[in-house]
Amino acid sequence: MTRYLLKNEKKFFEDVTNNIIGVDEVGRGALCGPVVSCSVLLKKEILQFDLVNQINDSKKISEKKRKTLSNFIKKNSTFYFGIASNLEIDEINILQATILSMKRSLKNFCNHKNKTKIDGQKTFHHNNNTFFIKKGDQKSISIASASILAKTFRDKLICNYGNEYPEYDLCSNKGYGTKKHFKAIKHFGITPIHRKSFLRNFL
């Protein structure tokens, strides 16, 4: 665990014992593909395993470790994904599409009375027991778990797109704006999975 998590260990893990649902999203800044959110309710039994101590903000964990932790979290939680496609992003903008993906991920938890924590600034109202937390994936194990599941899910999806569009190096860049990705767009044009609203200069 990082020094930050050791210092705040009790607070970081308390979401498990308090049955708190965590929500996070990935893919907001990508040039293609969907934005993906995940909502997670961890089982209390997860605290029995040493691997729980390695759960952290998904951006601070290697891809190999994320896959291991993703399988571990799935076995010890109830979770749901919410997706907003690149077409929806172009139609309603990335902020509204992100909100839509979060609401979709929370839909199956709609009858739960659990406190919910969502990463980031407040952008919508879910219910009166929902709280938005800046850098929540570093402060809440529930949000951190959601970030890991969302990222591994989206990364796998983008890699599958990469098999269909090999020129864009998608499995490597995960749809984000690397030099190689921009070069491929200039040479080959955009694909049906690209976000036109993000690439107006190339249309």
Residue ranges per structural domain of the chain:
3-202
The token duo for 190 is 């955009």
Question: Which burial class, exposed, middle or buried, applies to 128 when counting CB atoms under 10 A from its CB (0-12, 13-18, 19+)?
Answer: exposed
13 in the Ramachandran plot: left (φ > 0), alpha (ψ -120 to 50) or beta?
Answer: alpha
Pairing of strands 35-42, 77-84: antiparallel
Q: Residue length, the chain?
A: 203
pLDDT score, position 202: 79
pLDDT score, position 96: 98
pLDDT score, position 4: 44
pLDDT score, position 11: 85
φ, ψ (nearest 5 deg) of residue 26: -140, 155
* DSSP symbols for 110-166: TT----EEEESS--S---TTEEEETTGGGT-HHHHHHHHHHHHHHHHHHHHHHHH-G
Neighbours of 28 (CB within 10 A): 14
φ, ψ (nearest 5 deg) of residue 178: -75, 165
Cα angle 85, 38, 9; round to 5:
145
| Residue spans of beta strands (DSSP E) within the chain | 21-26, 35-42, 77-84, 116-119, 130-133
pLDDT score, position 8: 60
- Fold for 3-202, please state it: Nucleotidyltransferase; domain 5 (3.30.420)
pLDDT in 10s for each residue of the chain, 203 residues: 443 444 467 889 999 999 999 999 999 999 999 999 999 999 999 999 999 999 999 989 999 999 999 999 999 999 999 999 999 999 999 999 999 999 999 999 988 889 999 999 999 999 999 999 999 999 999 999 999 999 999 999 999 999 999 999 999 999 999 999 999 999 999 999 999 999 998 77
| CA end-to-end distance (rounded Å), the chain | 45
CA 164 to chain centre: 23
pLDDT score, position 110: 86
pTM: 0.93
109 near 22, Cβ under 8 Å?
no
pLDDT score, position 2: 42
